[in-house]
Chains A and B, each alone.
Chain A
Amino acid sequence: MSHGHAKEFKVRWGMVVDVDKCTGCGACMVACQVENNISPMVRQDKENYLPSMTFERDDPSNKMRTLTWLMVYELSNRKDYPDHEVAFLPRPCMQCGNPACVPVCPVVATDKNEEGGIVSQIYPRCIGCRYCMAACPYHARYFNWFDPIWPKGMDKALSPRTSVRPRGVVEKCNFCHTRFLKAKERARQEGIDPNELPEGYYTPACVEVCPTGAITFGDLNNPEHKVHQLAHGKYAFRLLEKLGLDPQVYYLTKRDWVRKQGDNYLANEEPHAKKH
């Protein structure tokens, strides 16, 4: 079992998100949807129409039913003007070192065993029991409540290397795994060891698109990578740190109230610095 014995990897792909730099523009969410072939929510399903059995689909703004591998949350310090402050917190899959979702899967449709430590999802094997969703405290896993539909013309813009998923299976952020494969291919062509990718060879779409540079990506184990330094910085913290899932996604903020919302603290407790 993976509980207690988190698998050791030579390379651990990780992300550091500077919450203080994030403007909440949502470009990362859009880039993620495009890169990973996440269909937009359209109101009518014309291809799969059965008289009196089909009704209009959800509102695209209903994030409880749409697929949002990367979700930007708006946080508020719940104070009135002039002390009011907001922060935006992008939340991809945490790619936990000790994931709660992996051991519960009854069909091995999700695993954490590839060099790099990305938690995988095998769509054709998933039976859609949603146990992993119940297990994931970050709500980073998404179930396909609807058939994926691309409005006419949009299907031409699909990412050719990313598979599409049917209704009834669970999916999640995988740090744009196809980009990882692509980076390794490029490295091989250039005579570089694909297991020692230089910094910048592999970047997920959200990292690439972020206009304020709030997201940094790289190997957490490699002291030369920027993420390594950032993750060990004074202002770094992780979401629900106390649960001990060992996420590979870190956040930076200088604001205590933001950090306080990242975990369950007692009323009089001060959020403490990240454990190393």
Chain B
Amino acid sequence: MLEKALKGSPKYWGWLGFLLVLIGIGAACWVWQLTVGLKITGMNRDVSWGFYIAQFTYLVGVAASGVMIVLPYYFHHYKTFRHMVIFGEFMAIAAVVMCLGFIVVDIGQPQRMLNVLLHPTPNSILFWDMVVLNGYLFLNLLIGWICLEKDRLHLPHPKWLKPIIYTSIIWAFSIHTVTAFLYQGLPGRHYWLTAILAARFLASAFCSGPALLLLVVLITKRVTSFDPGREAIRTLAKIITYAMAVNVFFFLLEIFTAFYSNIPGHMHSMAYLFTGIHGHNGLVPWMWTATVFGLGSLALLVTPALRDNHSLLPWTLGILVIATWIDKGLGLLIGGFTPNPFEQVTVYWPTGPELLISLMVYATGALVLTVLYKIATEVKQDLEVSQKDEVPGPA
């Protein structure tokens, strides 16, 4: 099927070329980082993880979120998602590729990476994160590729794949739970040391991931003749609504616990993020933007008329993605490190090279996603899943 990615319009090649340029710029920065070390980032003693690991965390959520399409289709036989499933799986592949990329650029001695396998440590959550992420990548490659291949040949999906698909559904929850465990088991980091962190991660993933997916699918709909169908979009928007409501609710639970209990450590991070402490308030505008966008998107989503307004929907999804990205791709990590256990504030902000290297990883993900979506849409077009409201499909 790969040959389908090799034939495309000038627009397609132009987009790939553009991504390659971005990758090239970022790669040059990465070479620089490999040459002189992580000192070109904004990280330091007190904030020892930065933008890279924050993006990693956000993208693990995006990877896990494909399950919001796969689960209704396989567990509830919700046929409307039939043609969306592959896009969820391919999105997961691109997201995991980016996750692994962000780990590689973050570590100080990338050439020693295989030590994680040579000296396996079941007691380290990072070891398990490596296991579940690579496992999830493998599962999605296997399932996505075989299903699409069978669709193309007008053959039913093989029976032996079913148990593997069910495993991948459970697995999706595990990747984000394990990623949350990376954080929530650390004494002294009060913003993370909360039993609800994994649940919060999943809730935020299940609204932001499908929102991102839906945005990409809407773009796909515009640039190709593939149409997921109006009903599928409506259902997915509904799923996003529930997940976002739960996400906001969980965050409010954190606020209650911190401020009603009056436990200093729990309040400090929130205070730093939303009001600033000791005159350091760099994150305050970001967090309030996230709050306004988050609540705004929720208001637009819970109102059925506005949710089903498909010219408004991309904007709703857009601000939802921005809100959840600020919350998890910026605030969560920095808030966990600042202030430190001794109430000292060490300001962290990503540097230019750090952002360019992140751009490289994001562009790589976009490249993988483009190629995979190109293949998927071509196959769907061959199956005549085109601009019709009613979705026909393979026998």
Contacts and interface: CB of A to CB of B under 8 A. Distances in A.
Nearest to A145: B39
A100 to B, nearest CB: 5
Interface in B324-356: 336-337, 340-343, 346
Interface string B34-55: 0111110001111011000000
A244 B187 contact: yes
Contact of A130 (B32, B49, B340): B49
A266 B265 CA distance: 10
B155 interface: no
A125 B108 CA distance: 12
Given A53-B35, A100-B187, A129-B106, A139 B123 contact: no
Interface string B204-216: 0000000000000
Given A64-B346, A128-B38, A145-B43, 11 more contacts: A65-B45, A106-B130, A107-B112, A109-B115, A127-B107, A130-B108, A133-B45, A138-B341, A143-B38, A167-B37, A264-B264
A25 interface: no
A95 to B, nearest CB: 16
B108 to A, nearest CB: 2
B218 interface: no
A127 B105 CA distance: 12
Interface residues of B, number: 48
Q: What 6 A-B pairs come out closest when comparing CB atoms?
A: A128-B108, A137-B188, A168-B108, A64-B44, A133-B48, A106-B126
A137 B46 contact: no
Contact of A125 (B103, B115, B263): B115
Nearest to B34: A168
A131 B39 CA distance: 17
B44 A106 contact: no
A134 B37 contact: no
Interface in B11-64: 32, 35-39, 43-46, 48-49
Find the residue from A53, A64, A106, A138 having the highest chain B CB count within 10 A: A106
Contacts of B341: 137-138, 240, 243, 264
Nearest to B115: A107
Question: In which size bucket is the chain A interface?
Answer: 35 or more
Contacts of B103: 129
A140 B331 CA distance: 24
A266 B115 CA distance: 43
Contacts of A261: 342
A142 B112 CA distance: 19
Given A139-B340, A169-B109, A106 B121 contact: yes
Given A53-B35, A266-B262, A243 B107 contact: no
30 contacts: A53-B35, A53-B36, A103-B123, A103-B124, A104-B126, A106-B126, A107-B118, A108-B119, A109-B119, A125-B119, A127-B108, A127-B116, A128-B109, A129-B107, A130-B108, A131-B126, A139-B340, A144-B37, A145-B38, A145-B39, A167-B108, A168-B38, A168-B107, A240-B341, A244-B187, A261-B342, A264-B264, A264-B343, A265-B264, A266-B262
Contact of B39 (A65, A169, A240): A65
Contacts of A166: 109
Given A100-B186, A107-B116, A135-B186, A145 B37 contact: yes
Contacts of B110: 127
A147 interface: yes
Contacts of A1: 123
Nearest to A262: B342
Nearest to B185: A104
B189 interface: yes
B39 to A, nearest CB: 4
Contacts of B39: 57-58, 65, 145-146
Nearest to A63: B45
B127 interface: yes
A118 interface: no
A240 to B, nearest CB: 6
A126 interface: yes
B113 interface: yes
B181 to A, nearest CB: 10
A105 interface: yes
A245 interface: yes
Contacts of B130: 106
Contacts of A145: 37-39, 43-44
Interface string A62-106: 011100000000000000000000000000000000001001111
B125 interface: yes
Find the residue from A100, A108, A127, A245 having the highest chain B CB count within 10 A: A127
Find the residue from A57, A108, A128, A129 having the highest chain B CB count within 10 A: A129
Contact of A134 (B36, B48, B115): B48
Interface in B105-158: 106-110, 112-113, 115-116, 118-119, 121, 123-127, 130
Contacts of B48: 130, 133-134, 143
Nearest to B118: A107
A157 interface: no
B37 A168 contact: yes
A147 B45 contact: no
Interface in B78-121: 103, 106-110, 112-113, 115-116, 118-119, 121
